[in-house]
């Protein structure tokens, strides 16, 4: 007992400088604006389990905000031929993706009976409408113009999404880097309309094959390629966990926003963002 008390006394002595008076300085909660964050969960139904549903989606949106922050910076660094910072940023994106994937494990504790208690109160609101997810897709090169109409209700947001839609994506930056590194890339790719969905090209496939066959000579490009593969791999795992969670909770019912639900989520699993980086695994 004396030894326990001595330990407490030592610990108390070591923490004498902990600040307790914040009348004139900023607190942790103020810095993070926790009053706004923690009061942003407004239940439409009052059902106990709706809090789980709201918080999981809000947390995912915060993570997606950080993904977009890192992707934008990575694209700028690749365009400036400064790859080392881009590697760190892309690696961080992959770590964030793993966190979002784990969120589905928490949401999957919601049973069909529990979700039915408040599903109708969501109206037409649906994760399909997540504008940040669309911006991530745009940044990775998957662009479908018809989705922009979802956001016409908010002119400022619609303008932001339209700008992102017509901006070069991460893979565009990577392919341009291949060309600047001396690889022969077709002009049709280098001058392509970046608002269209990217399609596999033989010259790009040949360039990446050369990178993988001569890793020592093209070490930075090899690292870039693997970072891109990591991101697409994690995104497909996120999509798969999304699909299985939705199937577990609502089966094959249509989504609240009018999508086909699980059938739509299964279909997008076949999409590729960086097709040549997967094709060359057979070639090398």
Q: Which residues are annotated as a binding site for substrate?
A: 53-57, 115, 119, 256
Inter-CA distances, 270 with 63, 71, 102, 236, Å? 24, 23, 22, 9
Binding residues: 53-57, 115, 119, 242, 256
∠ CA 209-211-213, rounded to 5°: 70
CA-wise closest residue to 274 among 214, 208, 221, 216: 208
Binding residues for heme: 242
Which two three-digit tokens encode residue 202? 């033989």
Instruction: State the first-to-last Cα distance of the chain, in angstroms, to the nearest integer.
Output: 67
Residues in the chain: 284
With the C-alpha atoms ordered 26, 27, 30, 31, is the resulting torsion angle positive or negative?
positive
The residues, ordered by sequence, that sit 6+ positions from 230 with a Cβ below 8 Å of its Cβ are: 90, 91, 94
Rounded Cα distance between 153 and 157, Å, is 9
């Amino acid at each position: 007992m004396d030894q326990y008390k001595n330990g407490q006394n030592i610990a108390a002595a070591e923490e004498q400088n902990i600040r307790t008076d914040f009348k004139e300085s900023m607190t942790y909660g103020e810095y993070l604006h926790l009053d706004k964050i923690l009061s942003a969960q407004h239940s439409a139904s009052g059902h106990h389990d709706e809090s789980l549903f709201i918080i999981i989606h809000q947390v995912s949106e915060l993570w997606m905000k950080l993904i977009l922050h890192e992707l934008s910076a990575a694209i700028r660094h690749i365009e400036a031929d400064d790859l080392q910072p881009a590697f760190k940023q892309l690696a961080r994106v992959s770590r964030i993706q793993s966190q979002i994937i784990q969120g589905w494990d928490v949401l999957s504790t919601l049973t069909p009976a529990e979700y039915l208690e408040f599903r109708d109160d969501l109206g037409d609101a649906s994760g399909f409408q997540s504008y940040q997810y669309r911006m991530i897709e745009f940044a990775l090169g998957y662009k479908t113009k018809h989705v922009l109409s979802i956001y016409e209700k908010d002119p400022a947001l619609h303008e932001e999404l339209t700008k992102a839609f017509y901006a070069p994506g991460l893979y565009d930056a990577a392919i341009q880097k291949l060309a600047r590194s001396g690889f022969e890339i077709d002009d049709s790719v280098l001058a392509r309309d970046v608002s269209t969905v990217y399609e596999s090209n033989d010259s790009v496939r040949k360039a990446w094959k050369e990178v993988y066959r001569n890793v020592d000579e093209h070490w930075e490009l090899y690292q870039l390629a693997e970072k891109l593969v990591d991101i697409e791999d994690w995104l497909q795992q996120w999509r798969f966990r999304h699909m299985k969670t939705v199937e577990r909770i609502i089966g094959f019912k249509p989504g609240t926003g009018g999508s086909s639900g699980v059938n739509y989520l299964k279909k997008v699993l076949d999409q590729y963002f960086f097709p040549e980086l997967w094709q060359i695994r057979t070639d090398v």
